[in-house]
Amino acid sequence: MTNQDLKMGRGARHISLPQIGEQGQKFIADATILIVGMGGLGCASASYLNSSGIKKMLLCDFDSIDATNLGRQILFGPSDIGKQKVLVAKQQLENINPAIDIQTINKKINRQELTALDLEKKTIILDCSDNFNTRFEINKYCVENNHYLVSGSAIRFEGQYVVFGDNYKKLPCYECLYNQNDESYEDCSGNGVLGPVPGMIGAMMAIETIKIICNIYTKKTQLNIYEGLSNEWRQINIKKRQDCPICN
């Protein structure tokens, strides 16, 4: 089977969707994304976007794999313990889709580091990180450069995701929802997380990313919250804060 046959086969079910079609799959095949954080969210979103036929993916994480990651970070196995997350993820994703161009960034990223990457305007950024400082830095960069930002998080039996951008003059940003005073030191290492929850949120982030790429995303900024124990979803509309120090 030729590379072209593989490429066409990979996108066949997308092409069958009238909302995507051949043109939408071409958009996917020409898209670039940056994923910050290769934990449970990042592994899931990267896996589905890679399998969808994304052209280029940048993976950013400064951490190495340990045994506690294996219950939810689906790109890693026991033989990967001690290795750098981005390098193992790159190898696994390339095994699934050899046509993809994957670049790795093995460091904790901030706004200056993001600026140095000189990303194309159309690059979509997925925030799969696990701390507020990184999220605030990513948000500042996205506002300054008008990038779409797909942000997600998961803890215990709960998960949430939201899409920001790309017209921040009219639409809210991450700091319209959270600010420095809201910082919490809760994370899954201290409080636990049900393994499939980050996977589900990461998959939802991948769906929203594909919708943006294919121009079928409705620009309605809302926080989508999943409660795993009750199996319920709820949505909260996010309004632009007139006193936001970042997007106003």
244 within a domain of the structure (yes/no): no
Q: Rounded to whole angstroms, what are the CA distances from 18 to 13, 54, 64?
A: 10, 19, 42
248 within a domain of the structure (yes/no): no
Tokens in use for 229? 């124990």
247 within a domain of the structure (yes/no): no
12 within a domain of the structure (yes/no): yes
Beta bridge partners of 32: 56
Q: How do residues 112-162 score in pLDDT, each as one tens digit? A: 999 999 899 999 999 999 888 999 999 999 999 999 999 999 999 999 999
| 3-class DSSP state of 214 | coil
Q: What is the domain count for the chain? A: 1
DSSP letter (8 states) at residue 73:
-
52 within a domain of the structure (yes/no): yes
243 within a domain of the structure (yes/no): no
Tokens in use for 197? 């929850």
Q: Which domain holds residue 174?
A: 3-237
Distance of CA 183 to the CA centre of its chain: 21
Cα–Cα distance for residue pair 196/212, rounded to 1 Å: 25
Catalytic residue set? 188
246 within a domain of the structure (yes/no): no
The answer, yes or no, to whether residue 101 has pLDDT greater than 70, is yes
The answer, yes or no, to whether residue 33 has pLDDT greater than 70, is yes
What is this structure's pTM? 0.93
**Mean pLDDT within 55-84:** 96
121 within a domain of the structure (yes/no): yes
- CATH of residue 112's domain is 3.40.50.720
Q: How do residues 152-210 score in pLDDT, each as one tens digit? A: 999 999 999 999 998 999 999 999 998 877 655 455 556 789 999 999 999 999 999 99
